[in-house]
Amino acid sequence: MLINDIKFIGGFTNIKQCPQEEKPEYAFIGRSNVGKSSLINMLSERKGIARVSHRPGKTQEMNYYLVNNNWYLVDLPGYGYAKVSKEQRKKWERFLRTYLQKRLSLQNVFLLVDARIKPQKADLEFANWMGELLIPFSIVYTKIDNKKYDPSNIEAFRAAMLENWEQMPVEFTTSAHKKVGKDELLAYISEINASYEGTERKTS
């Protein structure tokens, strides 16, 4: 798949504000500073589509992008150590959980995991929560080009996941800088799009 056209539709804090559920959509989420904006810019091959910031918590809405007039890429707020108030954090959690559980046109969540560091409790808990609710998701390991990258971190994450899972979800290894994983991610989205028949969420 090639992204020939991508348009920012809007940023929303309530599921009722989101576009009508007429097209499949794919959400990207991860801890603050995991490299989500860089990954989205890499996939779109356009600088500045998703704003890259060294200040955690920059994304504070569900940012919708219409891709090839065919599907939505949804940039979700990060979680973790973002310096926001407890009230704001609770607000994010409420609308994120509502979106992930109720949005029928959501076909897959790409959970970004920083490959430079050892498994984080927040990532594992979020993955297990989605699994319990049968929310379809994949693991995307980021920053494998970084000098701090250690393949053993990925192995450790898998081992931690498999304490509760019979098998791993679909996995991708990526580098936004070197464009590693771009073709694989877009091909996976294209594969799901090919079988999309409406707003009923694919759960198998």
SS (H, E, C) 146-200: CCCCCHHHHHHHHHHHCCCCCCCCCEEECECCCCECHHHHHHHHHHHHHCCCCCC
Does 54 have pLDDT greater than 60?
A: no
**What are 12-28's pLDDT values in tens digits?**
988 899 999 999 999 99
Q: Which domains does the chain have, with CATH numbers?
A: 6-194 (3.40.50.300)
Structure tokens of 150? Answer: 């250690």
What local confidence, expressed as pLDDT, does residue 47 receive? 74
- Per-residue pLDDT band at 80 (split at 50, 70, 90): low
* Count of beta carbons in the 10 Å neighbourhood of residue 100: 20
Contacts of residue 191, Cβ cutoff 8 Å, sequence gap at least 6: none
The predicted pLDDT at position 183 comes to 96
Position 203 scores a pLDDT of: 46
More confident residue, 84 or 100: 100
Closest CA to 108 of 66, 136, 129, 89: 136
Burial (CB < 10 A; 0-12, 13-18, 19+), residue 80, is middle
Three-state secondary structure call for residue 24: coil
Judge whether residue 95 has pLDDT over 70. Answer: yes
**Token reading at 111:** 């959970």
Q: Is 74 helix (H, G, I), strand (E, B) or coil?
A: strand
85/6: higher pLDDT: 6
Q: Work out the angle at residue 144's Cα, subtended by the Cα atoms of residues 57 and 64, and round it to the nearest 5 degrees.
A: 40
Task: Give 98-156 pLDDT, tens digit per residue.
Answer: 899 999 999 999 999 999 999 999 999 999 999 999 999 999 999 999 999 999 999 99
Any idea which residue has 């890429």 for tokens?
73
Strand partners, 113: 141
| Lowest-confidence region among 43-57, 61-75, 134-148, 166-180 | 43-57
Model confidence band, residue 55 (pLDDT cutoffs 50, 70, 90): very low
pTM for the model stands at 0.89
171-173 vs 137-142, strand pairing mode:
parallel
pLDDT of residue 204: 41
- Of residues 75, 74, 101, 77, the one with CA closest to residue 89: 77
Model confidence at 184, pLDDT cuts 50, 70, 90, reads: very high
pLDDT at 156: 98
